[in-house]
Structure 1
């Protein structure tokens, strides 16, 4: 699949409460996750290869039964996810997540293996194909990073999805204002970034690239924007026009604020850096925000 193969959601542009991304101190709502007007970069087959699912437990370990899910459960969409999902216990772990999950039908998402159904995970969000990183496996069940929420997991019973390899990872360090792109666990490039201002700090923890959208105005540098799976930690702290928005990675029309806390929670880097990420890092790739990475051990 092409990295830019995003379809315009019927609800995204037409609805007044459409998709929103946190865009560097300004609100913009109503844009669906869509490709830019330019040519879409092509993901190499080895980058997105489907891999066999390994969610089944050993033969002597029973799989906890999935309780039937009521048809009236909410669907996980671009709006904030329903409450009731468990915390991600490894949310600050920067170990790369190397498998992604793609639902092939509506899936009931639970609060634990054999637990309570909370919501439905859909094959698309705003009609954009969904790929979520796999975080844990237990007793034949699979836990994925929950879209439209911070530091939460959704547990899925076997079946109803495909898995793909994830080679890329983005790690953001808040204290040194640094973003590093990794491939296969090796750092490829590092950039200085600007991050969320006081009271609207960029949320800590593991999330992922949900999709991309064209920039709404020229001040965003004319480069596509990544919408992440994360949302503001305190929705009441952001301007009214950003309520329900997602955290974004994007550029700005100048680089004079890099290394500062100037955004509404988004991650802002240089246009050349963003273009490279858009070319190389596909949807579903994990993103981790930490305060700082541990210093390497001294060799003295």
Structure 2
């Protein structure tokens, strides 16, 4: 795919790349806005949330990953209201407003199941609630896998793509569930990213995060897909696009808006442990290559200020 945009003094470029389905899927071409920073700043300025999103705050409940998704035992299924055909579809652009907040946005408990829509699914604001939009089987041509966050009254809540700290509720049917073994936890205060598998910390890396005013968004999100490196500054290593977007879309230059927060590397490691990106998470090339090899799309990513105790690998 081609490179579109302009290169200024800081080297900003708007790139349209592609995603890959993951370890077992084929490459699919998509139009994804990726923002490439200059020598001092790097990151994607991504699809802004529609309206100001409430910023999640750390609490004493933040903890290292331990268990699975909350489930209610009651099997009474709340009926689903018919969804009008004119509802918007959830894609790479800002998610429609009206979806509920994620009440466990800073919980680092592993989310061990994912949902893969098999057809267009109506997404609601709660069990038996109001339909807001349609969740599609793909986003920008890439198969969609979204982590399961909660279950209630026979319904399933998933992390909403293209939004921060929001849930979408799905009635039964029309999707498959898959196992999610991997998880990424990012701590903003110690500038640390830790990869977990089956709840066990495997590796940790020092990272660079969002500069002041463009901080890396707190809360739960997930790996949406991957895109090839658009410029040599990425060191030839693919980039992860996440489901999250900047908390403040006005904090980035107007020409750099319209992309998602990402995980990527850089051509040097001199800025690790600093706030130098536009919200993205930047780690070493070897770390990024390992994540790309081991962590498939749909895997949950949680950003907190800090965990109560350091992870065993840190």
Report TM bin, short chain: 0.7 to 0.9
Q: Which residue among 245, 249, 253 is the counterpart of 1:231?
A: 245
Residues 23 and 228 from structure 1, CA distance in 2 versus in 1: closer, same or farther, beyond 3 angstroms? farther
* Aligned counterpart in structure 2 of residue 273 of structure 1, from 274, 287, 295: 287
1:243 aligned to 2:257? yes
Structure 2 portions without partners, runs of 5+: 1-20, 46-70
Q: How far is the alpha carbon of 1:56 from its aligned partner?
A: 10
Q: Which string of whole-angstrom CA distances, capped at 9 and with x for unpartnered residues, describes residues 42-94 of structure 1?
A: xxxxxxxxxxxxx9965xx4211111101010000001101000000000000
- Separation in 1 of the partners of 2:108 and 2:306? 11
- Relative to structure 1, is the Cα distance of residues 216 and 144 closer, same or farther in structure 2, using a 3 angstrom cutoff? same
The aligned length equals 263
3-state SS of the aligned residue for 1:211? strand
Task: Using structure 2 for the length normalisation, give the TM-score.
Answer: 0.80
Q: Secondary structure in 2 aligned to 1:246? A: coil
Alignment equivalent of 1:141, drawn from 155, 167, 171: 155
4+ long deviations beyond 6 Å:
none
Give the distance between the partners of 1:178 and 1:171, measured in 2 at CA.
8
Separation in 1, partners of 2:254, 2:309: 39
Report the secondary structure of 1:92's partner residue. coil
TM-score, length-scaled by structure 1: 0.84
Q: How far did residue 4 of structure 1 move?
A: 6.3
Q: Distance in 2 between matches of 1:153 and 1:294?
A: 26
State the alpha-carbon separation in 2 of the partners of residues 90 and 271 from structure 1: 32
Query: 1:62 aligns to what SS in structure 2?
Result: coil
Partner in structure 2 of residue 19 of structure 1: 32
- Separation (CA, whole Å) in 2 of partners of 1:218 and 1:265: 20
Task: Structure 1 unaligned segments of length 5 or more: list them.
Answer: 13-17, 30-54
Of 13, 25, 32, which residue of structure 2 is paired with 1:5? 25
Give 2:187's aligned residue.
173
* RMSD of equivalent CA atoms: 2.0
Residue in 2 aligned with 1:221? 235
Match of 2:122 in 1: 108
Aligned residue in 2 for 1:262 = 276
Give the Cα–Cα distance (whole angstroms) in 1 for the partners of residues 82 and 113 of structure 2: 27
The structural deviation recorded for 1:20 is 1.7
SS in 1 for 2:308: coil
Q: Structure 1 CA distance, aligned partners of 2:298 and 2:72?
A: 22
Task: State how 1:188-227 maps to structure 2 within 5 Å.
Answer: 188-227=202-241
Q: Secondary structure at the match of 2:92?
A: coil
Residues 71 and 57 of structure 1: is their aligned pair in 2 closer, same or farther, counting only changes over 3 Å?
farther
Contact 1:97–1:134 at 8 Å: present in 2 too?
Answer: yes
* Matched position secondary structure for 1:278: helix
SS in 1 for 2:286: helix
**Between structures 1 and 2, the one with greater strand share:** 2
How far 1:5 sits from its partner (Å)? Answer: 2.5
Aligned to 1:41: none
The residue that corresponds to 1:184 in the other structure is: 198
1:134 to 1:193, Cα distance in 2 relative to 1, 3 A: same
Change (3 A) 1:27 1:96: closer
